[in-house]
Copies of this chain bind each other. A is one copy, B any other.
Amino acid sequence: MFLGHQASYEIPFGRSAQPEGITGAVEYRTKEEQVADHLREAILSGHFPRGTRLKQAEVAKTLQISITPVREALKLLEAEGYISGSSYKGAVVAPLDVAASVETLNLRILLEGQLIRHAVERATTEDLRLIRGFADEFAEAVRRKDSAEARASNYRFHKQMYATANLPQTLHFVQILWARYPFDVINRVEGRAVTAVEEHEELLRAMIEGDLAGAMLALRRHIEAGWATVKDETEIGGDHPPAVRVRRTPRRGKEDKRNE
């Protein structure tokens, strides 16, 4: 009853020996990476809901390895914002913190705006063709109501778009922000994906036309539309600053002193 409502988790990552002919296959370099990947997917897919306690020994036993790689993977995920933990007390999947989410929202607009700006300036025809492809994949997946495929295409669409900006550090920060962002809430909503398809179209059209202002506006609309969904779903108050919060954990992983 722990892992395994989906086939891919039953055999998390198989034996080390794999036919080396398939070069593109998912062959990990270290076990730490395998564990990190596995946990990331399990968290993002909702298999470990927010607030779930992740015990080193348990994870290690599930994946049939010793706990050392698990600890290091947990540290990595903590740095990436997927989980939060404090010393000797273990790690939990980051709970929804409205105050933090508002900050994340603003940072996303700020940083993804930079990425769009550079992407519009640098995009080649080939870049646009790739982005177009992922946009179509996303639209198709939404039409088929294949939510897993939709999530994947959506990810690839944004990733490809931002990759053309050629700002690796900014992109890295944005990915951390994604990890902290309540996509799980957004994805639960029925009509959201359909709207997102239109927003992608608008964004891509502006990019193709080289319309910088239009692209940045479209991006802003896209992000804010998602946030509006979150607000509706979580019953946060209106537009006023979120005075009502959840904030049930200290959310300071690294430096909470014993005596304060």
- Which residues in B have their C-beta under 8 angstroms from that of A111? 110
Q: How long is the Cα–Cα vector from A29 to B251 in the complex, in angstroms? A: 17
Q: A103–B180 contact, CB under 8 A? A: no
- Which residues in B have their C-beta under 8 angstroms from that of A222? none
Pick from B79, B170, B251: contact of A107, CB under 8 Å: B170
Does A234 belong to the interface (CB within 8 Å)?
Answer: no
Does A125 belong to the interface (CB within 8 Å)?
Answer: no
A 33-58 to B, binary, CB cutoff 8 A, 1 in contact else 0 = 10000000000000000000000000
Does A258 belong to the interface (CB within 8 Å)?
Answer: yes
Does A71 belong to the interface (CB within 8 Å)?
Answer: yes
Given the contacts A30-B87, A79-B76, A107 and B71 also touching, CB distance less than 8 Å? no
- Which residues in B have their C-beta under 8 angstroms from that of A87? 29-30
Q: A103–B170 contact, CB under 8 A? A: yes
A 165-180 to B, binary, CB cutoff 8 A, 1 in contact else 0 = 0011110010001001
Q: A23–B259 contact, CB under 8 A? A: yes
Does A114 belong to the interface (CB within 8 Å)?
Answer: yes
Given the contacts A79-B79, A110-B114, A259-B23, A103 and B169 also touching, CB distance less than 8 Å? yes
Interface of A is mostly: helix
In the complex, what's the smallest C-beta–C-beta distance from A38 to chain B, in angstroms? 15
Does A199 belong to the interface (CB within 8 Å)?
Answer: no
- Which residues in B have their C-beta under 8 angstroms from that of A170? 103, 107
* Copies of this chain held together in the complex: 2
Does A72 belong to the interface (CB within 8 Å)?
Answer: yes
Does A159 belong to the interface (CB within 8 Å)?
Answer: no
Q: B168–A103 contact, CB under 8 A? A: yes
Does A104 belong to the interface (CB within 8 Å)?
Answer: yes
A 218-245 to B, binary, CB cutoff 8 A, 1 in contact else 0 = 0000000000000000000000000000
Known pairs A33-B254, A75-B76, A103-B170 / 19 extra A-B pairs, C-beta < 8 Å: A30-B88, A72-B72, A75-B79, A76-B79, A79-B79, A100-B168, A100-B169, A103-B167, A103-B168, A103-B169, A104-B169, A106-B114, A107-B169, A107-B170, A110-B111, A110-B114, A169-B177, A169-B180, A173-B173
Could you list 14 A-B pairs, sorted by A, with CB under 8 Å? Answer: A23-B259, A29-B87, A33-B254, A75-B75, A75-B79, A76-B79, A79-B80, A100-B169, A103-B169, A107-B170, A110-B110, A110-B114, A168-B252, A173-B173
A-B residue pairs, 9 tightest by C-beta: A79-B79, A29-B87, A30-B87, A103-B169, A103-B167, A173-B173, A75-B75, A72-B75, A23-B259
